[in-house]
Structure 1
Amino acid sequence: MRLRSFAFASTFALVLATPGLALAEPSPAITGEAIRADIGFLADDLLEGRDAGTRGYDIAARYVAARFETLGLRQAVQDSWYQPVTLAVAQLDKDSSPAMTIGGRRFANGDDVAIAAFGREPKQSIEAQAVFVGYGLKSDREKINDYAGLDLKGKFAVALSGSPVGMPSEIGAHLAAEKSLAAQQAGAIGLITIPTTSYLNRTPWEKVRDRAQHPAVSWLDKEGQPYIRTPAIRGTGTVNGAAADALFAGSGKTVAAIRAQAEKEGARPRGFALKPAVRIDRASSVATAPSRNVLAVLPGSDPALSDEYVLLMAHLDHLGVRESAKGPDKVYNGAMDNASGVATMLAVAKAFIESGERPKRSILFAAVTAEEDGLLGSQYLARNPVLPAGGKLVGVVNLDMPILTYDFQDVIAFGADHSTLGPIVEKAAKAEGVSLSPDPLPAEGLFTRSDHYRFVQEGVPAVFLMTGFAGPGKEAFEHFLKTDYHQPSDQMSLPFHWEAAAKFAKVNYAIAREIADEPQAPLWYKGDFFGDAFAPDAHKAVKR
């Protein structure tokens, strides 16, 4: 801990008390060495992979809290740097054998069915009729209702995975993620998924089965129950092979024919009632694990804007220690994913303090837990806000796994096309000599797959920032994804480009500063899918 940080903590307190006072340093210094030190600590073996709910994560959280305190930031939670998040970890009972029975034929878990644990009901035996619902999508805006004309009340919905070929990727990803909600609204009690051919080409059935054996993690709500957005959907599972064939017995349809139809551009198989009854039997045990989000505030300077908050966030957790890892190294250190994002956030916070000029809007800094378990820490923060009375969150910038192994020339802001955050990011990046590039992976729907999306679901414009694909960027990204993503090799031995790390932090400082100081808060664009879906009554901007 450097003496200079203590000096700035004291000086910053004086600045807060004296609005007209400014520090001498005209532009903040961000160095690769400082970022390297933060990543080096967070990705050390001593932290054992920072798995949420473990001692290693708690040490990482304490480190970030100490950095916030040293910088002179304020606590967002009264008398604490932490927002407690109690995780509920459900696992299948080892003494029982989960199964799905279809038309009297029992399919054991791990063969042609994949059934995961369910924390809200330790013992389950649910039987009902089933209805095939095509992709199981529903959107008034897009004029899609795969449930139209079908009676789902008290029944299982049976749906293809994903969304129709050719549907805009982000809309398709969102609607696919909302299938349980659509099924619940239709009156279903369960959702059974049939993976499409395209899905199985990307994710082999063996991997689908293996994932179902992993613990199902959620957070405890105020009633002490594992939180789930769709509590009426009690029975879930994925089927393939003979189990999928059994569902369609006597219907005159085959899984093969439906899958073949689904591979065609724009095809949407129609739904119909299925003949066999379905029963799901499973037993789960639930344990709890305390975790926490680490939060800090930099108060805004403008009395007219300081009640508006910009959130700069990064997930702090990674995958922990896994004995199943190939090779002698069992620690998943998560240097790039996402110690680099947290270190960037800390560098930006330090830059704000050292600039001597407080932003006009307030900034909330958040290192969140359990992203790897399903964006849980961010979901908890989004649904349990910590802002004071009258405070309003107006924009989110999420830092998740920037690839810092090359001197990037562009950045990607997933979500930039949906709100006025796009031009703000472009302007700020350009001032740092960096261009803004469009989404290079539209088919992946990445906008819906990281922590910022939990705030989008609450109606807040957001972007997710990564280094770009220009020059060596595409090759560097693909190499990391193929070789090091979610592997023990994601550690400090990677060929980090520390000057690029400093540049990425400088770009993000410029972006956060621009958002915080703009006269107008970020707005969704008029007619944008996500703005219409999650903030239908909000004032919108016309896209130029």
Structure 2
Amino acid sequence: MRFSLSLLCSLFAAYAATAQFSDIPVDAQRVVQTVRPDAIRNHMRILANDSLKGRKPGTPGFAMAAEYVMAQFKALGLKPAGENKTYKQNVPLRRWAVREDKSALTLISNGKEQPLTYGQQFIYSPAPDHATSDISAPVVFVGFGVTAPELGYDDYTGIDVKGKIVAFLNGAPSTFPSNQRAYYSSAKAENAVAHGAVGTLAFNLPTDLRNRIETAAPRARQGVYRWVDKQGHPQRTYPGIQAAASLSDSTARLLFANAGIPIREMFAKAQKNMPQAFPLNVSVRMKAQTDVVEDVAGLNLVAMLPGSDPVLKNEYVVFVAHLDHLGIGRVVKGDSINNGAHDNASGVAINLETARLFASLPKAPRRSILFVGVTGEEMGLLGSDYFASNPTVPKANIVANSTLDMPFFFHPLLDIVPYGAEHSSLNTPVRQAAAFLNVGISPDPIPEQTVFMRSDHFSFVRQGIPALFIKSGSQTGNPDLNGTKLNLDWRATIYHTPQDDMNQPFDFNAAGKHAQLQFLVGYLTAQADQRPVWNKGDFFGTKFGEADKSK
């Protein structure tokens, strides 16, 4: 009797476990347990090796990394899904830079001209659409330069800026939801063009220590990259803006000398998130020359695991990680090679292990799975934007994207921040996978970093495709170790330096759990009867997709 009771209890426990995760098929449960943290380590060691010289697009080091990844695709039996039956998709990139000796900015007030000093008082952003710019116009202040009707906020209310130059604060109102704050912080030029402005002047709140002239000038001098179409036209630009400058704090104060509203009062209203717009009673002459510096042969990599369903195999779940990094830069602590171990050899390595998990299934999921290694993320999400705009499969058939970039595995993976999950039905597979792996789900611990806009998933959001960007949360399991502080300290000291190499305290078991999450979320999405949909009334779904706009 005791034996029968024990057997009954065991059977009940097994049934309960199966019932708890009945939404995850047994095959997937078995495969996910075969994850190999050491394989992730080995992929990273190869991709972050000094011999690849930091994997800058267009260099031999990037080509070496691409060859390695393609060899892994082939070994896993994944089908070429790039151009001309290869794993490759060519991405034409071009770089522009400002000629400082041919550029000037002059304030004009009460008939007097005040020339400003380049690199100290102002810098220009390159204008790919305008080889030369020479405009003189009155300046109008427009707060944060934001128009957000769904949030009842508009800095352009009651002001005419047609043919004028607009000045605005960097960032967006702090009361905005994190992801919308990120979006509106980056949409200033687009909004200025929509209101008829011809030039922009940007500056910071006194409390905003980012984007200072002294730190922004060296980056600006490197120029900007864009991908170009078959006619050579740059993309993701706004030709209506003929010149765009960033100003130092002291220069911004000069703009307000005759405004009638003291700058301290303007700052106070901005910090209270109050829309504001008024003329500054000053004009500016913006004269700039933008030169083409180089063309770069960019390269995306695309591989496919064909789906098993005769109909749904024509739909695609896309996994993305950027393969590029910064190449060779200035010497820091005796090293000049930006190996990019965490950024983003880690994401590529985890996606390769995720691909192996999918290839290990006894039967492929119903939908097809694409694995895409993109170029030019560090140049402004260029490779992913090119692929999302010009996919090698029908765009309408891409149902979801999951991007991995710097997932942060310097401690055990106890919780995740699934950026994007709150916007679509992808939240369901995320929660199912997290529950199976006993991983918690946490809110964004660093909303001021505007993470949602800063990686390749956003290229898919722009095309109306629900997307995820899963990163580690802040729980470490150690009361003496603050995960958020660890993250911020890493960003302040290691991020985009040669010290982002393999000599870091990575937790590869946590990396393995990231691969398990990627696999399970993608598998559940690929198996579902219905493709993912944006939530009703969602901001990004309404703006870019086909979300229900009834709310």
Q: TM-score, normalised by structure 2?
A: 0.88
Aligned residues of 1:25 and 1:356 also touching (Cα < 8 A): no
Q: Is the 8 A contact 2:120 2:213 kept in 1?
A: no
CA contact (8 A) 1:309 1:391 kept: no
Count of equivalent residues: 514
1:482 corresponding residue in structure 2: 492
CA distance in 2, matches of 1:372, 1:119: 18
Structure 1 residue 408: deviation in Å?
A: 1.5
Decide which of 309, 320, 328 is 1:302's aligned counterpart. 309
Deviation at 1:290, TM superposition (A): 0.7
Residue pairs, 1:426-437, within 5 angstroms? 426-437=431-442
State the partner residue of 2:509. 499
SS at match of 1:477: helix
Larger mean Cα displacement after TM superposition, 98-107 or 404-413: 404-413
Task: Kindly indicate whether residue 239 of structure 2 is the aligned counterpart of residue 239 of structure 1.
Answer: no
1:204 Cα deviation after fit: 3.9
Equivalent in the alignment of 1:364: 370
Partner in structure 1 of residue 7 of structure 2: none
Could you tell me the percent identity over the aligned residues?
37
Cα contact 2:204–2:249 (8 A) shared by 1: no
Look up the SS of the partner of 1:221 in the other structure: coil
Counterpart of 2:299 in structure 1 is 292
1:257 has 2:250 as partner: no
2:187 corresponds to 1:182: no
Partner of 2:97: 91
Deviation at 1:42, TM superposition (A): 0.5
The whole-number CA distance in structure 2 between the counterparts of 1:24 and 1:403 is 25
State the partner residue of 1:318.
325
1:37 paired with 2:42, answer yes
- Alpha-carbon spacing, 1:437–1:83, altered in 2? closer, same or farther (3 Å): same
Aligned twin of 1:528 = 538
Deviation at residue 202 of structure 1 after TM alignment: 4.1
Distance 2:397 2:215 in 1: 42
Matches within 5 A, 1:82-161: 82-93=88-99, 96-103=101-108, 104-161=113-170
In the alignment, structure 1 residue 441 sits paired with structure 2 residue 453 = no
Shift of residue 135, structure 1, vs aligned partner: 1.3
In structure 1, the residue matched to 2:16 is: none
Instruction: Read off the aligned partner of 1:276 and give its amino acid letter.
Output: V
Q: Which moved more, 1:498-507 or 1:100-109?
A: 498-507
Residue of structure 1 in register with 2:236 after alignment: 228
Of 391, 407, 416, the residue aligned with 1:411 is: 416
Query: Could you tell me how far 1:504 is from its partner in structure 2?
Result: 1.9
Q: How does 1:11-26 map to 2 (within 5 A)?
A: none
Aligned partner letter, 1:511: V
> 2:346 matched to 1:340?
yes
Deviation at 1:476, TM superposition (A): 4.0
Deviation (angstroms), 1:85: 0.9
- Offset of residue 480 of structure 1: 2.5
- Give 1:25 shift: 12
**3-state SS of 2:207 partner:** helix
- The alpha carbon displacement at 1:262 in A equals 1.6
How far residue 391 of structure 1 moved from its aligned partner, in angstroms, is 5.1
Match of 1:267 in 2: 274
CA contact (8 A) 2:542 2:549 kept: no
State the distance in 2 between where 1:410 and 1:349 align: 23
Residue 395 (structure 1) aligns with = 400
How far is the alpha carbon of 1:92 from its aligned partner? Answer: 2.5
Aligned-pair CA distance for 1:426: 1.2
SS at match of 1:520: coil
Structure 1 residue 519 corresponds to structure 2 residue 529: yes
Partner SS, residue 306 of structure 1: helix
Question: Cα deviations across residues 373-423 of structure 1 (Å, max 9, x unaligned)?
Answer: 1111111111112214x8511111110101223221222211121111112
Gaps in structure 1 of 5+ consecutive residues: 1-22
Is the contact between residue 359 and residue 517 of structure 1 (CA under 8 Å) also seen in structure 2? yes
Alpha-carbon shift at residue 229 of structure 1 (Å): 3.5
Quote the Cα distance in structure 1 between the aligned partners of 2:409 and 2:259. Answer: 54
Change (3 A) 1:478 1:228: closer
- Decide whether aligned partners of structure 1 residues 243 and 468 sit closer, same or farther in structure 2, where only a CA change above 3 A counts: closer
Give the letter for the 2:152 counterpart. Answer: K
| Unmatched 5+ stretches in structure 2 | 1-26
Quote the residue 1:17 is aligned against.
Answer: none
Give distance in 2, aligned partners of 1:314 and 1:440.
23
For the 8 Å contact 1:47–1:59, the answer to whether it is kept is: yes
Deviation at 1:225, TM superposition (A): 2.2
**Distance in 1, Cα, partners of 2:174 & 2:30:** 52
Partner of 2:387: 381
| Distance in 1 separating the partners of 2:215 and 2:365 | 47
Deviation at 1:452, TM superposition (A): 0.4
SS in 1 for 2:281: coil
Query: Cα gap change, 1:186/1:65 in structure 2, threshold over 3 Å: closer, same or farther?
Result: same
For the residues of structure 1 that align with 2:226 and 2:39, how far apart are their CA atoms? 34
Q: CA deviation at 1:53?
A: 2.6
Q: Cα offset for 1:282? A: 2.0
Paired residue for 2:4? none
Match of 2:227 among 215, 219, 239: 219
- Cα displacement string for residues 259-300 of structure 1 (whole angstroms, at most 9, x for unaligned residues): 233223x323x2122332212222232111111111111111
Distance 1:210 1:257 in 2: 32
- Which residue of structure 2 lines up, in the alignment, with residue 27 of structure 1? 31
* Of 121-130 and 158-167, the range deviating more from structure 2: 121-130
Residue deviations 1:335-373, cap 9 Å, x none? 011100000111111111112220111111111111111
User: Counterpart of 2:334 in 1: which secondary structure?
Assistant: coil
| Between 69-78 and 452-461, the greater mean CA deviation after superposition | 69-78
Q: Determine if contact 1:307/1:391 at 8 Å carries over to the other structure.
A: no
Judging changes above 3 Å, is the alpha-carbon distance between structure 1 residues 385 and 245 closer, same or farther for their aligned structure 2 residues?
same
Tell me, in whole angstroms, the C-alpha distance in 2 between the residues paired with 1:89 and 1:144. Answer: 36
Contact 1:219 1:376 in 2 (8 A): yes
State the 1:97 CA deviation.
4.5
The whole-number CA distance in structure 1 between the counterparts of 2:384 and 2:248 is 33
Contact 2:130 2:239 survives alignment (8 Å): no
Q: Which amino acid aligns with 2:175?
A: G
Q: Comparing 400-409 with 239-248, which one deviates more in the overlay?
A: 239-248
Q: CA RMSD in A?
A: 2.3
- State the match for 1:353 in structure 2: 359
Matched AA of 1:344: I
Equivalent residue letter for 2:509: E
CA gap of 1:391–1:523, structure 2 versus 1, over 3 A, is closer
Shift of 1:174: 0.9
